[in-house]
Amino acid sequence: MRINPRALLTLIGLGALLVVALWWNDTLVVHGFGDWLTNAGRITGLLAGYCIVVQLLLMARIPAIERGVGADRLARWHSFGGRYTISLVVAHTLLIIWGYAVTAHTNVVSQTGTLLTAYPDVMMATVALGLFLMIAAISARAARQRLSYETWYHLHFYTYLAVALAFSHQFATGADFATNLQARVLWGGLYAVVGAALLWFRFIVPLRQRVRHRMVVDNVVQEAPGVVSIVMRGQHLDELQPEPGQFFRWRFLTRSGWWQSHPYSLSAPPHPRLLRITVKDLGDHSGELQHIHKGTRVFAEGPYGAFTAHRRRRRKVLLLAGGIGITPLRTLLETLPGEPGDLTLVYRVNHADEIVFRHELDLLADQRGARVLYLIGPPGSDADPFLGSRLAAHVPGLRSYDVFLCGPPGFTAAATTALRAAKVPAGHIHSEQFAF
């Protein structure tokens, strides 16, 4: 089952309308400036509570959402949602303090004191606010570049604590919940269901898969300088039903790497006992994977990803790979249904020694009657297919192609621009960014 992005967004929007309806239903009139502020504070508070649960939902790794929306798009939504949620949380806090102060004819400082000391659970919610602000600060683009992934990753876990701390004041002081059992049940149910999904799909499923499939590193093969293929061996892997183009989140149980999982696409069609990924050393955890030992135990969470044959709309397909973005496309080249002449692979790299799978690709091209084009040279050079109308010259009839696109963010952006300029409809450009 797949939930498509538009359906999911509609569902989220309807939920937000219901939340506003709850306020609407509970409010007789808004009277005076203080009441305006307080009610604006109530609405922003309700929406913030709702956005938090949506944020958790997007990150719960629910298969129908992962397969339908795609992990890269989910991650973009989550980061947009994060900024929006933080804004709501801050607005809620300030509006409530100000509104209460205006109606009670006190100043905001003493009202803040009253709120903190005399209102149930507001102190906890304030700690949550502090945590949210800390997480927002470390997730901001500027800070992300200065922090190591590890630090960011660990600090991000505090969101769970913040969500828990912020929850109780919603019922204890929230006007819409304090007197409305039905609303409390629905709201609590929403949090409980999302929390259970999170626990199930992020923790219990990977554990069960580990027990069932017992995956270990079977072999490590050098493909190019700084690029290795890692082959995992396991039992009953066909039960996972991975589709070509999908990825797993891999957790290698080494001393330094056990706590983190990273997404890597399958770089070969799935086999009942073997799965292969291909990893380029990007100077982070991927560097350690270059020297992973055979026999290392592996947790695999997945399969995930919407970059599969189900997105295809046309008979003719162009696979457009930038650098290590070749990995899912290599699998699609082998498995996408098609007659000779239907499939074209354009594979751009900066230097000739970066090409991986050359032998496999040539073999597949031969077997399938596919055309494979290697373009070697940095962006802006003669080999750059996205300058002018070069892409259309390389691929005659480009307009009637479906395009599967995978590469670094700059590559994806340039390719999308070039494809749109060549009049390829946006609905026929399918991309997945692996930098997320």
Partner 1 sequence: MRRTLIALVTTVTGLIFLLSFKSQGAGPTNRPAALAPTTPGPTSTAAPNASASPSRPSSAPQTATGAVIQTKYGPVQVRVTMTGNRLTDVEAIQLPTGDRRDIQISNYSVPQLRAEALAAQSAHINVISGATYTSDGYAQSLQSALDQLNA
Angstrom CA distances, 196 to 56, 58, 202, stand at 11, 13, 10
| Shortest distance in whole angstroms from residue 393 CB to partner 1 | 34
| Shortest distance in whole angstroms from residue 33 CB to partner 1 | 8
d(CA 224, CA 242): 26
Specify the pairing of strand 402-407 against strand 429-433.
parallel
| Shortest distance in whole angstroms from residue 92 CB to partner 1 | 11
Cβ neighbours of residue 219 under 8 Å, at least 6 residues apart? Answer: 230, 231, 294
d(CA 137, CA 14): 30
Angstrom CA distances, 259 to 19, 166, 208, 256, stand at 37, 27, 17, 8
| Shortest distance in whole angstroms from residue 150 CB to partner 1 | 26
Structure tokens belonging to residue 286 = 């991927």
d(CA 89, CA 142): 22
| Shortest distance in whole angstroms from residue 10 CB to partner 1 | 16
Structure tokens belonging to residue 170 = 């919603």
| Shortest distance in whole angstroms from residue 21 CB to partner 1 | 11
Collapsed DSSP state (helix, strand, coil) of residue 371: strand
**Residue nearer to partner 1 on the CB measure, 82 or 305:** 82
What is the SS3 assignment for 2-71? Answer: CCCHHHHHHHHHHHHHHHHHHHHHHCCCCCHHHHHHHHHHHHHHHHHHHHHHHHHHHCCCCHHHHHHHCH
Q: How many helices (H) and strands (E) does the chain have?
A: 17, 11
Cβ(201)–Cβ(60) below 8 Å: yes
**Residue nearer to partner 1 on the CB measure, 54 or 403:** 54
| Shortest distance in whole angstroms from residue 391 CB to partner 1 | 28
**Residue nearer to partner 1 on the CB measure, 121 or 281:** 121
Q: Residues interacting with partner 1, by CB under 8 A?
A: 20, 23-24, 26-36, 38-40, 43-44, 47, 80, 83-84, 87-88, 99-100, 102-105, 114, 118-120, 172-173, 175, 178-179
d(CA 140, CA 232): 36
| Shortest distance in whole angstroms from residue 146 CB to partner 1 | 18
**Residue nearer to partner 1 on the CB measure, 105 or 146:** 105
| Shortest distance in whole angstroms from residue 412 CB to partner 1 | 18
| Shortest distance in whole angstroms from residue 29 CB to partner 1 | 4
Q: Fill in the DSSP letter of residue 200.
A: I
Structure tokens belonging to residue 411 = 């590559």
Angstrom CA distances, 52 to 46, 55, 160, 167, stand at 10, 5, 10, 10
**Residue nearer to partner 1 on the CB measure, 103 or 350:** 103
Residues in the chain: 436
303 preceded by a cis bond (ω within 30 of 0): yes
**Residue nearer to partner 1 on the CB measure, 24 or 153:** 24
| Shortest distance in whole angstroms from residue 227 CB to partner 1 | 34
Specify the pairing of strand 262-265 against strand 247-252.
antiparallel
Collapsed DSSP state (helix, strand, coil) of residue 374: strand
**Residue nearer to partner 1 on the CB measure, 127 or 178:** 178
DSSP-derived secondary structure for 208-228: HHHHHH--EEEEEEEEETTEE
